[in-house]
Amino acid sequence: MGDPSTTPAAAEARRERLRAARLYLVFSPHLCAGRDPLAVLERLLPEVDLLQVRVKPDGAAPSEAAATRDWTRRVLGLCAPLGADAPLVVVNDRVDVARTLLAEGCAGVHLGQDDMPPAAARELLGPQALIGLSTHDAAQVVRAGDEPVDYLGFGPVHATATKGYTRGLGSEAAWVAAQATHLPVFPIGGIDALNAGELEDVGRAAVGAALLAAADPARAARELRALLAGGAGA
């Protein structure tokens, strides 16, 4: 008997959840302000819809693939008790790791413009996996409509030290990107409680440090979610 999580019905359910997703956590353990990353993440899991594991190699895992695999397994272990309420989990860049962990609950992979082409990733991962793609201008957004991807990241919307961008594209550019495609678009880059309200018309955002380094991560997530929905926050 096959894994029920990889059936077409399960895949369509994931894509329905993706279309409804609002808050996307980019989980990088080094952004957790010196705290236990898993403790921070445990507080955030009930508040986010989609989660990307983006890690750097460390002493215990000498390669990017090994670090990504090990951290993703830890994340999936934390998600397991939440069942259907757990966020969808994808890995950054590593199609090989995503393929290895599909049967363990990994939903797919997020690719950058210089990573494996989406068509090659789709061939390796199969039709059920989720594939996201980073975009940085309107032309890339339009071209992505011909790729076998399920959602787009778009940015940086604002300057962000995390990725070394000193200037952002702006919230209006994110709105234009969202209007230019049928795919869900998650603006990313320097998004926090001070500017998330600018993305109300998009209704989605991908966030890392603003949640992981917050004094109260769960509260910060609820506030961002409310701002994206046009509310005042918790």
Burial of 70 (0-12, 13-18, 19+ CB in 10 A): middle
Does 224 map to a domain? Answer: yes
Q: Is the pLDDT of residue 2 over 60?
A: no
Does 172 map to a domain? Answer: yes
For residue 1, name the pLDDT band (cuts at 50, 70, 90): very low
Does 234 map to a domain? Answer: no
Q: Tell me: the pLDDT tens digits for 109-132?
A: 999 999 999 999 999 999 999 999
Q: Is the pLDDT of residue 10 over 90?
A: no
Q: Is the pLDDT of residue 62 over 80?
A: no
CATH classification at residue 143:
3.20.20.70
Q: Tell me: the pLDDT tens digits for 175-216?
A: 999 999 999 999 999 999 999 999 999 999 999 999 999 999
Which segment of 15-29, 53-67, 220-234 scores lowest on mean pLDDT?
Answer: 53-67
Mean pLDDT score across all residues of the chain: 93
In which domain, by residue range, is 207 found? 4-228
Average of pLDDT values for 6-26? 93
For residue 59, name the pLDDT band (cuts at 50, 70, 90): low
Q: Tell me: the pLDDT tens digits for 69-97?
A: 999 999 999 999 999 999 999 999 999 99
**How confident is the model at residue 164, as a pLDDT?**
62
Does 140 map to a domain? Answer: yes
Does 99 map to a domain? Answer: yes
Q: Is the pLDDT of residue 173 over 60?
A: yes
Does 214 map to a domain? Answer: yes
Half-sphere exposure of residue 97: CA atoms within 13 angstroms, side-chain side:
24
Q: Give the chain's length.
A: 234
Total structural domains in the chain?
1
Does 233 map to a domain? Answer: no
